Amino acid sequence: MPRFLSLVDLAIIAYFLIGVEAIWPFREKRFKEEAFINAGFLGLEGINGRIIGVGDWNGDQKLDLFTLDENKKTITVNLWNKEKFSFTSAHTLTLSSTISNIVPGDYNHDGHLDLLVMYVQNDDGGWWGSKNEKLGMEIFLGGAEDGGFQTASWKLDSSLPTQPIVFDADSSLKPSLLGLVPTEDKTDGLLRTWLNNSTGLALGPTPLRSPEQACTLANPHSSAFIDIDGDCLPDLVLHCAQSKSSLRSIQIWLNKGKSGFELSKSYDLPRGSGPLSFGDINRDGSIDIIFPTCAQQSKSTGIGTECNLNVAYNKQVPICSTEVSQSTKEGALRCRGWGELCTPDDNFQFTFDSSDPDFTSVPFSTLLSDKTGSSVGGILLHLPDQPEIPLPIRIGDYNVDGFPDLLLTVQSIVKGGVLASKEVNQVKILVNVPCSKNVPGCEGTAKSKRGFRVGSGKAWEALDSITDAEGASWMDLDDDGSLDILVQRSGAQSGERIAFIQNNFYHDAFFLKAQVLNGACEGECEPVQGGKAYNPLGVSYSGATYKFTVLDTEGHRVAQQVAQLPQTGYHSLHTPYAYFGLGRTNNYVEKLFIGTSLPQGSHSTYLESIIPNSQIIINPPYPISSDENNDTNDADRVLSREYSPVKSRSKEWKSQLYLKPGDWVPWVGVAVFSTTIILGFIVLGLNEREKKEDEKERRRKLHAINFQAL
């Protein structure tokens, strides 16, 4: 007998034929091709200046951009709009002077992002860096009722044109400045500190133990506030100019807590060295130094020729196989335990000798050679006709394998015909790869060192098609967990000055994003004078350090170190968070160590069993003064808290984890849901079958004849 469809069956069929599109849980992907994709201008089309700053202005955990107009007098705050997937112009700031640089930061420690603006004083058309020229500085406070700038601002004492760097001078988690101030008797200026006291930044002595040994900062310079000896305390790396010479050198001042910074080591850099960058290139848990050297460079074009890529590896004690550190009989550190990564190594060492296996130097012409017939004419060291704005090599892990890659702008000579050729500026990525026989730069290096290959191919066409590049930097568009590329252009190719390149490659690996705040507020910020509470997630701390170990798929434990906002001068364009790839791992991050410049003993903490593909927000404790803790002696006093724009400060380390689900997570949910439905139908079917069998058995018993009763 034929079986007719029931109403339930018809409803199920209608559901799958008609309503499946309406309730489909997966959004259509904005970018589908697995490649670098030109995402367009994202709301910044038509701008005639440059992007000079990056930060989270409104504390929504989305990256905002600060642009400077062509006249260099107006700054525009462009906020990210997630729904429109573009930037929107929100606030402007106009000065009468020529603006040189901006540094976003929370200078009054109220949980709002502020803006330090550096501008040219005595601008009479003289050559940049003339003795009569000074650098004016003013801090424009954020947190106005409309979300923009307050009417009041802090005006700072002037410096020389050599831009000061941001650092923590007194373990207060407040940004102070270190730079050169003009003097009547010294043409090179005097190294001083603009100390932050929450009501302004006042000039004072430097926290260096022997300030007479301090060098003269180069202009421009690549000084950094970053942990060098591995103790998770940020140290000072000063990029120095040698007197009456074009040679450069560096000084490393180790952070000794309340007793200041101690000069540890000095090194002369190779001749023709360019701007310095910092990163853990070989993934050994220590910060290395990366920089170019060029035989010649043009001030008019910014192009350096006959250039080499140089990597000076930081030689420190290795990571132990045990959780606890081990020492020799003499007490020297033999290795760091993977559970004690913030143990200092006072015997760290760099070398800048090309014959040493711990120093790699390889020509860019070898690294950037390809099969397209183009050749490398040089690399862009600074903006054309603007030697005061260097373009360093940018460090970022685009393929999340745990080994940072290099982003730079090169001059390519492209063949246009039989004899014709043209010079174009392109952005290139040098992919960090293991050393092997055919990898450029690996000859004579230690086995643990790395080599680089230029990224090329059809998937890279969106990047290679830009021929008027004037710098590039890493950023995470829409905070989707992949490192994308911001390309700044001259406008010669299409008239546009900005391009965003979306990284849409699929990598079978995990990432982690982390951000250390400045301890300004306990949770949400509540103003002392009343008003609406707000979130302080936009105020990052310059100089924070992350160290951790992960297990790779073969069970080997590897260490990694990443810095947060180590450099702030000369349009550094560092993101307010740290992004690092974890590579392929089948485990949690065992221990993530976080270091700041709080007093020694309380400057670091760690988190255990961190889930990959997540973002960690860490809020350190605000330093406690003797007024708040009677057990604290005078030597441990960090600062006075007489002025406090918010009601409550963070009293202890706190962290928040935001999980970023991968594309596969919804499919797992569908699989689990479908399996549950199928198993439910099976159970219902078996239950119905069991009921029918029981009914048959009951009926048989009713019809059975009891012959013994007859």
Asked if residues 573 and 616 have their Cβ atoms less than 8 Å apart, the reply is no
pLDDT tens per residue across span 12-39: 555 454 444 444 555 566 777 888 999 9
pLDDT tens per residue across span 96-153: 999 999 999 999 999 999 999 999 986 444 444 444 589 999 999 999 989 999 999 9
Report d(CA 689, CA 692) in Å as an integer. Answer: 5
Structure tokens at 689: 């079958």
pLDDT tens per residue across span 335-378: 999 999 999 999 999 999 988 888 999 999 888 875 555 677 78
Which residues fall within 8 angstroms of residue 464, CB to CB, at 6 or more apart? 426, 456
What's residue 708's pLDDT? 54
Give residue 636's pLDDT band: very low, low, confident or very high (50, 70, 90). Answer: very low
Quote the number of domains for the chain.
2
| Mean per-residue pLDDT over the chain, rounded | 86
Of 104 and 613, the one with more pLDDT: 104
Of 699 and 653, the one with more pLDDT: 653
Position 5 in a domain: no
Distances in whole angstroms, Cα of residue 37 to Cα of each of 31, 33, 343: 8, 8, 43
Report d(CA 608, CA 285) in Å as an integer. Answer: 17
What's residue 2's pLDDT? 44
pLDDT tens per residue across span 367-420: 887 555 567 778 999 999 899 999 999 999 999 999 999 999 999 887 765 555
What's residue 122's pLDDT? 64
Express the helix, strand and coil content of the chain in percent, nearest 5 each. Answer: 10, 40, 50
Position 122 in a domain: yes
pLDDT tens per residue across span 559-588: 999 999 999 999 999 999 999 999 888 778
Asked if residues 575 and 54 have their Cβ atoms less than 8 Å apart, the reply is yes
What's residue 374's pLDDT? 62
What's residue 347's pLDDT? 92
Residue where a domain stops, chosen among 189, 207, 225:
207
**Confidence check: pLDDT of 244 > 80:** no
Structure tokens at 221: 């310079």
**Confidence check: pLDDT of 523 > 90:** no
What integer is the mean pLDDT of 198-216?
Answer: 91
What's residue 18's pLDDT? 47
Q: Beta strand pairing status for 545-551 and 375-380? A: unpaired
Position 695 in a domain: no
Position 652 in a domain: yes
Q: Beta strand pairing status for 165-167 and 176-181? A: antiparallel
Dihedral angle, C-alpha 555, 561, 565, 570, nearest 10 °: -110
Among the ranges 213-217, 256-260, 701-705, which has the highest mean pLDDT value?
A: 213-217
Q: Look up the domain containing 163 and give its range.
A: 95-207
**Confidence check: pLDDT of 525 > 60:** yes
Residue where a domain stops, chosen among 207, 236, 268:
207
Position 235 in a domain: no
**Confidence check: pLDDT of 703 > 60:** yes
Position 272 in a domain: no
**Confidence check: pLDDT of 329 > 70:** yes
Which amino acid, residue 152?
A: A
Position 101 in a domain: yes
pLDDT tens per residue across span 666-679: 777 788 888 999 99
Position 565 in a domain: yes
What's residue 371's pLDDT? 53
Residue where a domain stops, chosen among 143, 176, 207:
207
